[in-house]
Structure 1
């Protein structure tokens, strides 16, 4: 089997993107240690079929070196997304936000805290604080390593790789834990329309997060799609077309209600 190398972090697909379009905006966020490469193709497909304005920012500390990520906190990641949201709000009548993995968590977090700014939110394999004990315990080791192995490219397809860090600063895992759990606590405040997409097989985020989100939010309009052919980075996996179709329909329902 031919080994597929991870694309370089400075590759064009890994850079922030803006697909200019109409008055409905979509903020599409990548995941932890990753880059916009992981969501770009799906975002472009949504743009081409809806005409929406779609932005994919690069979260703070990402796309450069793991050492840069180590100098950031969960507040920096959220601020990156909120700055992009403000740009969309300046140019669009309504904005839908969503993302993959930690990008989905950040989208849920913002939608819960800023309901007037968000028309709808979509979560693709988002985490809201359901962790196995063996994942949490090492976060409290005082003499643990500064870096741990990366978690990228959890993809069922053999011909695709995710552009992401191969090492994770251990201190940022603590910030990720804080952000996901804080977001889980905020879910009852979320009343926007909600689309949840979750892989049945996910080696990074427990699939039970999907039902936890659905049962915890205050929204009355919840749609759930289970992904049977993809792993965690589903936007680069076998179900990328299904995801694009579901997000397109979700965005179009926003456009029709505008």
Structure 2
């Protein structure tokens, strides 16, 4: 049954209950620094907690101003996420870009998973406002048909199991939803596929980091990004020890160092 295939694909690895979204680490944050700004987006169903440690390290190494907003519908409940769609997440990203641009004359955008997709989307559409882009396990629309088809079945479930905490390192956990509105996944697919079509418009320097073993996003997305963007400055680095939430995994230190070097 195709619903069963979908459930298996999105089976949570090490989920935690829907609860700790009021914790300080799950809140948006701004680290004041230099005139170079790094706008850092978290992933789908997640919170700023998933990128906070890397963001703090980037700030420490580079001295850059680092801002991590929280996307619409995130950090609340799955029901709140159900009321949002790709236009709302894009609007969150654009608002954050305006906020950081008022503080910094040079802005680089980056993110994890859906956050990377949003970064690519902004860089393609707003080249005059963004000087570089970082993609960490970003999705650009490469999905298996048996995963997508069940989303359009009339009798499908309203919610499916969450996709968070795909982390190799024991003891590390992502604050994220334990279930996802099925209709919201359609919105995610719309955004990732549209962003894939926009890749040739990206001409800024780009840094791509991709986990070799990623149980959420097909690693081939990294190669698609590298071969489709219009940039002449492309860095592609494979993360050998981490799963999808690499910013909470074994390679998080390497990720921070690479981003800091890219900002320089």
TM value normalised by structure 2: 0.93
Local SS of the residue matching 2:168: coil
Corresponding residue for residue 45 of structure 1: 57
Distance 1:135 1:242 in 2: 32
Q: CA RMSD in A?
A: 1.1
Corresponding residue for residue 40 of structure 2: 28
Closer, same or farther: CA 75–4 of 1 in aligned 2, 3 Å: closer
Describe how 1:71-220 pairs up with structure 2 within 5 A.
Answer: 71-220=83-232
Corresponding residue for residue 257 of structure 2: 245
Contact 2:15–2:178 under 8 Å retained in 1: no
Distance 2:218 2:92 in 1: 26
Unaligned runs of 5+ in 2: 1-13
* Alignment partner of 1:65 is 2:77: yes
CA-to-partner distance for each residue in 1:169-228, whole Å, 9 max, x for gaps?
011100000000000000011101100000000000000000000111100000011000
Local SS of the residue matching 1:185: helix
Corresponding residue for residue 256 of structure 1: none
Give the superposition deviation at 1:8: 1.1
Give the superposition deviation at 1:158: 1.2
Local SS of the residue matching 2:21: coil
Number of residue pairs aligned between Structure 1 and Structure 2: 250
Give the superposition deviation at 1:151: 0.2
Give the superposition deviation at 1:159: 0.7
* Alignment partner of 1:54 is 2:66: yes
Give the superposition deviation at 1:4: 8.6
TM value normalised by structure 1: 0.95
Distance 2:39 2:153 in 1: 36
CA-to-partner distance for each residue in 1:24-81, whole Å, 9 max, x for gaps?
0000000000000000000000001111110000000000000000000101001101
Distance 2:116 2:16 in 1: 26
Distance 1:185 1:225 in 2: 22
Unaligned runs of 5+ in 1: 253-258
Local SS of the residue matching 2:128: helix
Contact 2:211–2:239 under 8 Å retained in 1: yes
Give the superposition deviation at 1:9: 1.4
